[in-house]
Chain A
Amino acid sequence: MAVKIKTKYGFIDIDNSVIATVVGGGATSIYGIVGMASRNQIRDNLNGILNRDNYARGVVVRQDDNGVNIEVNIIVGYGTKISEVCRNVQAKVKYNLESMLGLTANAVSVIVQGVRVIGE
């Protein structure tokens, strides 16, 4: 699955792994996010934090006529205001997609898969 953009010169195909990396890179730079989680922990058998190479497993991209719908699975740090951190992720992901790929995200859904307690 890939996102297709039509231009007057032809098509641009953006693979989902590209989108996943842009989304993952944006999300993990947000304060309060300690990592990306697998969207399907049982199937992937990855019970931990995804490393940069497999962000794609934590990001779901669905395309429709008007743009893309993104789902981000994250792990947050304990003690932060989780709702606000997620809102920041949404804003950052939307901004990154628009500025880097020219994609408008119709929805950026954030799924908090875990909370890490660090240094308490």
Chain B
Amino acid sequence: MKVTEITATEFQSMIRMGARRLSKNAEFVNSLNVFPVPDGDTGTNMNLTFQSGAKAVLESDSDHVGELAQKLGKGLLMGARGNSGVISSQLFRGFAKNVEKKASLSAQDLADAFAAGVQTAYSAVMKPVEGTILTVAHEGAKAALKAAKSSDDAVVVMDAMVKEARKALANTPNLLPVLKEVGVVDSGGQGLTFIYEGFYEALSGETTAEEYVPSEGEMNEMVSATHHQVAQTKLNVDDIKYGYCTEMMVGLGKGNATEPFNYDTFREHLSHIGDSLLVIADDEVVKVHVHTEHPGQVYRYGQQFGSLDKIKIDNMRLQQESIIDGASEIVQEAKPLADFGVVAICSGEGLADLFKSMGVTYVLSGGQTMNPSTNDILDAIKAAHAKSVIVLPNNSNIFMAADEAAKEANVDVAIVKSKTVNQGLTSMLSYNPERSLAENAAEMTESLADVVSGQITQSIRNSKIGGLEIHDGDWIGLINGDIKIANKDQLQCTIDMVGAMLDEDSEIVTLIYGSEASESEAEEVAGAIEDKFPDIEVEIHEGDQPLYPFLVSVE
């Protein structure tokens, strides 16, 4: 068929076919979208834009092509969505302006109009990026002009234009590195090519395949492209709403298929389970890529339509974390939850090791003068990675924060209210992972009463307490939190304090020396105690704790 004159009838038919072909393939265009903002909606945007233009043209009863083109331009402008939509509206605005006064178009008019559209489109951009819809439009129009020189057939012109547009489209990855990286062509350019193909079909009367059916290789590329986009945008692990990147291929009608496959219903259903949804289907297989919290649901749903093939689940939160924090976190997260975890709060590496040696899972650094916040404790509870967690605050100032954290935590938490590190250590002796959380908490809390805690620290001002005169720089001994002893000599003060702590039931004294005391000093104190009280056994541990040279427990 040869078309030497495009009248209103042909023009309307071109627009109808262009719109139809684009709309059928909008989903495919979405899947290509990686640039400039990877949000996968170029196809949707272009489609909505072009539908708006097509509606204006098809509702008009004008038989003047110039008028129809004006309607198209205006409809596109009104409905412009997204970057590609704005560009398309400009392309056809220039087109419309060029044919304004023409009642019908010759092949040459058509080519000129496309060229004018490209010129208008380029004028509204500061720095045209080559390898986009603009390039495709530009190359296509150039070919149309060339064809119009040797033929007065609009079909020939349109054919040349479609062919060149396809060629330019295929070349876009070479012009834009971001496209090459993910192995796709430009989405906007693809959308425009679909429109041109529709035009060609309308003029030539030939119908080509309605829907673009990608090969399996292309399917895989698109899936990885979609995945790539998401990885780029979700920089923060907390921002990942749907954590599992889930893929499946369903062999339609195979296996235990119970439902007939319908693309729209299928897609609609999955869109409620997750996002970044990509569904590509032909008669035999449907390939699905979706980000969801419930991969199982996706697979169960897919199975209704056929047998599953090539299933894959990636935990994107872990992938993201591994990028941010290195691999160590993954090991921690990947471990199944333990039944019990114990969090102890103390400062000093030695104390931390002591607690760990007694079965504490996580030591949170803190104590006097550096109380951890509710959030810190909450994080520690999470880090303990267990179904039930016991918290040892080891300082009465931390009780409230710990209580708050226990309320906030989404696992069972019991706070054993140890006021001192000594109490905390002693309570660990009653800890038994075989028992329930309530039993442990009760036993451990009970054991707190068995221990007398002594702490040696230095006074920072002059004061008078309970008949004791204390000078700045004096060493003071606290028994169960109350100041009982003051002395200028650190060791003497410690020995006196231990003496005051002992009674006839006492059996064991545990001496933990801090970063401001040495092992030999601890031994000196131990020697003095053993000399005075031969029945008492003294244990010495290195605690590294700051501010308190000696922590003493008596049991």
Contact = CB atoms under 8 A, between A and B. Distances in A.
Interface string B77-104: 1101111011101100100000000000
Given A77-B125, A118-B123, A31 B233 contact: no
B520 interface: no
B232 A79 contact: no
A88 B82 contact: yes
B85 A29 contact: no
B233 A85 contact: no
Contacts of A88: 37, 82-83, 86
Nearest to A30: B83
B127 A28 contact: yes
A118 B119 CA distance: 11
A80 B124 contact: yes
B124 to A, nearest CB: 3
Interface in A14-36: 28-35
Nearest to B81: A84
B209 interface: no
A32 B77 CA distance: 12
B235 A81 contact: no
A95 B86 CA distance: 19
Contacts of B80: 80-81, 84
Contact of B82 (A33, A84, A102): A84
Contacts of A79: 77, 90, 93, 120, 124
A85 B45 CA distance: 13
Interface string B225-254: 000000011010000000000000000000
- Give chain A's interface secondary structure class: mixed
A1 to B, nearest CB: 23
Contacts of A35: 126
Contacts of B37: 88, 91-92, 95
B376 to A, nearest CB: 15
Contacts of B38: 95
Contacts, number: 75
A33 B86 CA distance: 11
B321 interface: no
A84 B125 contact: no
A80 B90 contact: yes
Contacts of A76: 124
A30 B81 CA distance: 13
A41 to B, nearest CB: 19
A106 B87 CA distance: 28
Q: Which of B80, B81, B90, B119 has the most CB of A within 10 A?
A: B80
Contacts of B85: 84
A98 interface: yes
B5 interface: no
Contact of B232 (A80, A91, A99): A99
A119 interface: yes
A95 B126 contact: no
Nearest to B41: A91
Contacts of A95: 36-38, 233
B353 interface: no
B36 A92 contact: yes
Contacts of B124: 31-32, 34, 76-80, 118
Contacts of A28: 126-127
Contact of A31 (B81, B87, B119, B235): B87
Interface in A64-120: 76-81, 84-85, 88, 91-92, 95, 98-99, 102, 118-119
B403 interface: no
Nearest to B39: A91
Contacts of A32: 86, 90, 124-125
B81 A33 contact: no
A81 B78 contact: yes
Contacts of B129: 29
Contact of A119 (B83, B86, B120): B120
B233 A98 contact: yes
A35 B81 CA distance: 21
Interface string A30-50: 111111000000000000000
Contacts of B125: 31-34, 77
Q: Which of B37, B120, B126, B129 has the most CB of A within 10 A?
A: B126
Contacts of B90: 31-32, 79-80
A31 B232 contact: no
A87 B87 CA distance: 14
A80 B235 contact: no
Q: Which of B38, B87, B90, B129 has the most CB of A within 10 A?
A: B90
Interface in B186-237: 232-233, 235
A53 B19 CA distance: 43
B328 to A, nearest CB: 14
Contacts of B126: 28-29, 33-35
Contacts of A91: 37, 39
Given A95-B233, A99-B232, A85 B86 contact: yes
23 contacts: A29-B36, A30-B36, A31-B90, A32-B90, A32-B124, A35-B126, A76-B124, A77-B124, A79-B124, A80-B77, A80-B80, A80-B86, A81-B78, A84-B81, A84-B85, A85-B86, A91-B39, A92-B36, A92-B37, A95-B233, A99-B232, A99-B233, A119-B120
Please list the 3 inter-chain residue pairs (A to B) with the smallest Cβ-Cβ separation, ordered nearest first: A77-B124, A81-B80, A118-B123
Given A29-B127, A80-B77, A98-B235, 12 more contacts: A29-B129, A30-B36, A30-B83, A31-B86, A32-B90, A34-B125, A34-B126, A80-B86, A80-B89, A81-B86, A95-B38, A118-B124
